[in-house]
Amino acid sequence: MSKQLWDVEEVPPPTGTDGRQLTERGARTRERLLQAAETVFAALGYHDASIVKITDAADVAQGTFYLYFGSKQQIFDELVMDLNRRIRRAMSEYADTATTRADRERLGFQGYFRFAAEHPALYRVIRQAETVSPHILKEHYQRISRGYVTGLAEAMEAGDIATSDPEVLAWMLMGIGEIVGMRWILWGETDVVPDEVFDQMYLFVTRGMGTGPDR
């Protein structure tokens, strides 16, 4: 397997609201706030989350928040992009253990479901973005799709799956992963996708891509 599918970019060093570089202490506080935000947004949703609740959870004073983030929106956006990077990393880690190309998508799904199970914030936070920060939501899907497209195009060229528009395919795979994760992980009794469901899903996907068991 050549390179990583979701080749996750490095993050630039964080700055304060005024644009200045942070001391180590500052960076630590900022990180605490970001973690608190994840918890609070996941538990309460964007509206109902409040800056007081975030600073309480981070155990800093209200005013401190504004040293690092300009507004509730801004920390939200940052959190979404942070989650996005972590999902892609999770998917990469799984997918890159594949020994055959055909296994890649399967492992990608598993990475995604695993991450979703461990981070309830994922759905609660990201779906909010639709109205809170539409452009960030777009960005989120696009970044994931990009990774898929790369891998799918390769697979098509190698003749492993039927040739088609890799972008359409990529979005469909995301749509499937998202709704299955929501239905069986977020709303399910267990926090994994049951094996029979996974298998049915995967059968559908491979058939759809033109790599069924018949191939």
Partner DNA sequence: AATGAATGAGAGTTCATTCAT
Partner DNA sequence: TATGAATGAACTCTCATTCAT
Query: Which chain residues interact with a copy of itself by CB under 8 A?
Result: 44-48, 123-124, 127-128, 130-132, 138, 141, 164-165, 168-169, 171-172, 174-180, 183, 187, 196-197, 200-201, 203-205, 207-210, 212
Least distance between DNA and beta carbon 67 (Å) = 6
Enter the tokens of residue 181: 């994760």
Binding mask 12-51 for DNA (x = CB under 7 A): ----x---x-xx-xx-xx------------------xxxx
Contact of residue 178 among DNA, a copy of itself, none (CB under 5-8 Å per partner type): a copy of itself
Least distance between DNA and beta carbon 140 (Å) = 22
CA nearest 113: which of 70, 66, 23, 174?
174
Residue 60 makes contact with DNA by CB under 7 A: yes
Contact of residue 131 among a copy of itself, DNA, none (CB under 5-8 Å per partner type): a copy of itself
Interaction site with DNA (CB under 7 A): 16, 20, 22-23, 25-26, 28-29, 48-53, 60-67, 71-72
